[in-house]
């Protein structure tokens, strides 16, 4: 298959029947959890117990939803509207901002697509740092509202990610000083660290055979996801299967990424998740990937290691890990795992 087939999405506007290239078989579309009462934890960040609830959710699930998070609903609505505005553009215009092969920024199918035998019923747009360069191509005379709203979103999501990181550290007895590279400032100075990814899942003529976003874990420390009020995200829980994450008005989903799994020395679960599609509604979601400074080596934190808990992973930078993930996908963690006999020091 041509490499661009995994970057250029289908022109969904003009499709009335699911093409074979997008028909997934049952092995890939394993069913949802049989217990409807099983729900991803919803945590009120205003609660005095927030830190311990986050620890428990991160150890058991690797995912939770948060409310009272402080990001104004008006901003989330504007981000959703701008996202819909972008994906409603004609395919020809969106292709002006196409991601280059091997690149990370711009319009296209999610990078994981090339690791699966069938194509995804979705399109995405990744912003790293300033969105301006691509926004000018999309709206030559009217890009400023998109840029202002996306930049404000990056700033707010960065602040919330830092707050959640501090709570997670605190919940396992760490202070911010225990983590050399973690310097919460509330203002994200390094543009490379502001990764915002917009997802679009058009209504699908045969949702049971299609896949919005195939099962994956995120490479980040944490991912914040706004999914509006249309369901589609499912998380995998051992012994239960795929659990749908019900949208809760104004709340955000927080998933633990691979790098958090590494620095917690396996204590926090990295969350395997996927997105399914539906017949009637065009769903969009907005993901903010929070990671360490690009050149900082991250490794299991000293306080997570003792004679019973040897370090499980070697040090990696976020850039290096993204490269390994982009090449080996779900084998990436295995490839940086240390031998069980490796001793401290």
Ligand X SMILES: C=C1C[C@]23C[C@@]1(O)CC[C@H]2[C@@]12CCC[C@@](C)(C(=O)O1)[C@H]2[C@@H]3C(=O)O
Ligand Y SMILES: O=C(O)CCC(=O)C(=O)O
* CA distance linking residue 230 with residue 295, whole number of Å: 37
Q: Which is nearer to ligand X, 216 or 237 (CB)?
A: 216
Nearest to 93 by CA among 78, 82, 107, 81: 107
Q: Is 232 in the site for ligand Y (CB under 6 A)?
A: yes
Name the one residue in this structure whose structure tokens are 């017949």.
279
Contact 176/311 with Cβ under 8 angstroms?
Answer: no
Q: Which is nearer to ligand Y, 224 or 316 (CB)?
A: 224
Q: Which is nearer to Fe ion, 63 or 86 (CB)?
A: 63
Write down the least CB distance from residue 223 to Fe ion, Å. Answer: 6
**What is the x/- site pattern for ligand X, positions 170-209, by CB under 6 A?**
-------------------------x-x------------
Q: Which of residues 267-326 bind ligand X (CB under 6 A)?
A: 289, 322, 325
Q: Is 105 in the site for ligand Y (CB under 6 A)?
A: no
* CA distance linking residue 322 with residue 303, whole number of Å: 25
Q: Which is nearer to ligand X, 147 or 322 (CB)?
A: 322
Q: Which of 105, 237, 274, 283 is catalytic?
A: 283
Name the one residue in this structure whose structure tokens are 């040090």.
315
Across the chain, the runs of DSSP E, i.e. the strands, are: 42-44, 63-67, 106-108, 123-128, 195-201, 213-216, 222-226, 233-237, 241-244, 252-256, 273-275, 283-290
Q: Name the binder of 195 from Fe ion, ligand Y, ligand X, none, CB < 5-8 A by kind.
A: ligand X
Q: Is 218 in the site for Fe ion (CB under 5 A)?
A: yes
Site stretch for ligand Y (CB under 6 A), options 47-55, 92-100, 178-186, 224-232: 224-232
Q: Which of 164, 218, 262, 263 binds ligand Y (CB under 6 A)?
A: 218
Is 99 a catalytic site residue?
no
Q: Is 285 in the site for ligand Y (CB under 6 A)?
A: yes
Displacement of CA 174 from its chain's centroid (Å): 25
Q: Which of 110, 149, 160, 252 binds ligand X (CB under 6 A)?
A: 110
Paired strand residues for 288? 196, 224
Write down the least CB distance from residue 186 to ligand Y, Å. Answer: 24
Q: Is 261 in the site for ligand Y (CB under 6 A)?
A: no
Q: Which of 56, 81, 104, 114 binds ligand X (CB under 6 A)?
A: 104
* CA distance linking residue 212 with residue 210, whole number of Å: 7
According to DSSP, the β-strands at 283-290 and 222-226 are antiparallel
Residue 128 CB contacts under 8 Å (≥ 6 apart), including other chains: 104, 105, 191, 192, 194, 195
Contact 181/292 with Cβ under 8 angstroms?
Answer: yes
Give one DSSP letter per residue of 222-246, joined into a string.
EEEEE-TT---EEEEETTTEEEE--
* Residue 146 burial (10 A CB sphere; 0-12, 13-18, 19+): buried
Q: Is 219 in the site for ligand X (CB under 6 A)?
A: yes
For residue 60 the two structure tokens come to 């058991």
Q: Which is nearer to ligand Y, 199 or 209 (CB)?
A: 199
Q: Is 22 in the site for ligand X (CB under 6 A)?
A: no
Q: Is 86 in the site for ligand X (CB under 6 A)?
A: no
Q: Which is nearer to ligand X, 126 or 200 (CB)?
A: 126
Contact residues for ligand Y, defined by CB under 6 A: 197, 199, 213, 218, 225, 227, 232-233, 273, 275, 285, 287
Contact residues for ligand X, defined by CB under 6 A: 104, 110-112, 126, 195, 197, 216, 218-220, 289, 322, 325
Contact residues for Fe ion, defined by CB under 5 A: 218
């Amino acid at each position: 298959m041509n490499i661009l087939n995994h970057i250029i999405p289908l022109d969904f506007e003009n499709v009335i029947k699911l093409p074979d290239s997008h028909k997934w078989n049952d092995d890939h579309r394993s069913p949802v959890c049989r217990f409807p009462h099983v729900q991803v934890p919803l945590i009120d960040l205003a609660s005095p117990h927030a830190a311990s609830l986050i620890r428990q959710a991160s150890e058991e699930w690797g995912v939770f939803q948060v409310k009272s998070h402080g990001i104004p609903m008006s901003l989330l609505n504007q981000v959703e509207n701008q996202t819909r505005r972008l994906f409603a553009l004609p395919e020809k215009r969106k292709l002006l901002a196409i991601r280059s092969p091997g690149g990370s920024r711009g319009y296209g199918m999610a990078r994981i697509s090339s690791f699966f035998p069938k194509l995804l019923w979705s399109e995405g747009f990744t912003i790293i740092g300033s969105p301006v360069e691509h926004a000018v191509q999309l709206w030559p005379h009217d890009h400023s509202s998109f840029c202002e709203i996306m930049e404000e979103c990056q700033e707010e999501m960065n602040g919330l990610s830092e707050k959640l990181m501090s709570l997670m550290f605190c919940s396992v007895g760490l202070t911010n000083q225990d983590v050399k590279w973690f310097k919460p400032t509330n203002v994200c100075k390094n543009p490379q660290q502001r990764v915002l990814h917009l997802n679009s899942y058009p209504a699908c003529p045969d949702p049971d055979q299609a896949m919005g976003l195939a099962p994956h874990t995120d490479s980040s420390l944490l991912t914040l996801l706004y999914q509006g009020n249309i369901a589609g995200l499912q998380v995998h829980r051992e012994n239960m299967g795929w659990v749908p994450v019900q949208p809760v008005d104004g709340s955000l989903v927080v998933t633990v990424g691979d790098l958090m799994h590494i620095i917690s020395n396996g204590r926090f679960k990295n969350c395997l998740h996927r997105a399914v599609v539906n017949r009637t509604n065009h769903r969009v979601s907005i993901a903010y990937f929070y990671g360490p400074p690009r050149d900082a080596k991250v490794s299991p934190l000293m306080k997570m290691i003792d004679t019973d808990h040897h370090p499980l992973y070697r040090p990696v930078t976020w850039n290096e890990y993204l490269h390994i993930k982009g090449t080996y996908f779900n084998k990436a963690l295995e490839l940086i795992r240390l031998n069980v006999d490796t001793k401290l020091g």
